[in-house]
Structure 1
Amino acid sequence: MFDTDIYNQKMNEAIDHFASELKKVRTGRAHPSMLDSVHVEVYGTKMPLNQVSNITAPEAGMILVTPFDVNNIATISAAIRNDQSLGFNPSDDGRLIRVPVPPLTEERRRQIVKQTSEKVENAKIVLRNIRQDVLKHAKKAKEDKTITEDDLRGIEKNIDSQIKDFSAKIDEMFKSKEAEIMKV
């Protein structure tokens, strides 16, 4: 019999990845995960910011970065400033780094929604690729005579139904995030 569990797991992983990508999208409120993409060169190695500092968001418009080693303050500030996709201008007082998060303009909100919709399309492409893999392996199994023509049709119907459900879940997650982004 043809096993679709591996493909279900791949689709769930695609949804989880999409959810983690949505968490990175800026919505106007400061959040420590906004700095997840920042990598800092310390001790001769490029490391994620959260491994060399403590990151908090004490208020809606501010992120505080407290380095574990105060000697790295200038390097951390430069790394945050150099990440052009963030557009932040951090300031430090010798002990910690303050990263003001400016409020989003209407134009910037629309731009963020557009970028997020590209992530939606990428997630759906991943689902379609998984569907193609399932159908390819199912047709191969039919050629090898391990499944029948009826089994193949059942698998196609089942996978199409699952893809439709997962796609609807992605759309629902996007609508929720879009509302969050556009809310002033």
Structure 2
Amino acid sequence: MQSVMDDCQDRMKKALASLERDFAKLRTGRASTALVEDVMVDYYGTPTPLKQLASIAVPDSRSITIQPWDRGAFAPAEKAIISSDLGLNPVNDGKLLRINIPPLTEERRKDLVKLAKKYSEDCKIAIRNVRRDANESLKKLEKDKEISEDDQRRGQEEIQKITNAMVEEADKLLKAKDDEIMEL
């Protein structure tokens, strides 16, 4: 029964970690390497994350510099950033790709908040799916006479407490991201 609980908690924490990674990729007013490092570049016919082709730096709070290690990667990297849904336009000076992060418009901020809410909802769905799997595991243990009916009920209550805590954490992360996006 304890292994079911541990597995449940571990998988829920992974869902929250995934939410945090998704939030890091959401553009706020500040520059961050997380914005572009997972942009897929068509590098000699192979889709490759930008972070594997170039060094990415944030020289100041409003710009990102990308320095591909291979000269042949400049054009594909630039094209991939432009075609991504980030709304960024890199400037190629031959040595570096520079991306200036413009301030967000009110409309763009609202779109980002909607996207953050969608990510949060996806995380909560994942957490609830983990809860369902854990409850099914407990029912199976009880059916196989490995635990008593009382233990199964206590286990389900414990799983519900864990679920509530994880959903609350997801809500906190969403509120923090909303505040960060809407901050001028």
Q: TM-score range by the shorter chain?
A: over 0.9
Contact 1:62–1:100 under 8 Å retained in 2: yes
Aligned to 2:101: 101
Contact 2:37–2:56 under 8 Å retained in 1: no
Q: Secondary structure at the match of 2:22?
A: helix
Flag structure 1 segments of 5+ consecutive residues without an equivalent: none
Aligned residues: 183
Equivalents in 1 of 2:27, 2:37: separation in Å? 12
Superposed, which structure 2 residues align to 1:112-131 within 5 Å?
112-131=112-131
Contact 1:139–1:152 under 8 Å retained in 2: yes
Aligned to 1:42: 43
Contact 1:2–1:147 under 8 Å retained in 2: no
Aligned to 1:26: 27
Cα drift, residue 41 of structure 1: 2.0
Identity over aligned residues, as a percent? 37
RMSD between aligned alpha carbons? 1.3
Aligned to 2:79: 78
Kindly indicate whether residue 181 of structure 2 is the aligned counterpart of residue 181 of structure 1. yes
Give the TM-score normalised by structure 2. 0.94
Q: Which has the higher contact order (CA 8 A, sep 6+)?
A: 2
Q: Spell out structure 1 runs of 4+ moving beyond 3 A.
A: none
What code does the residue aligned with 1:161 have?
K
Deviations 1:58-108, CA, capped at 9 Å, x for gaps: 12221111111223211211111111x111111111111111211101111
Flag structure 2 segments of 5+ consecutive residues without an equivalent: none
Aligned to 1:141: 141
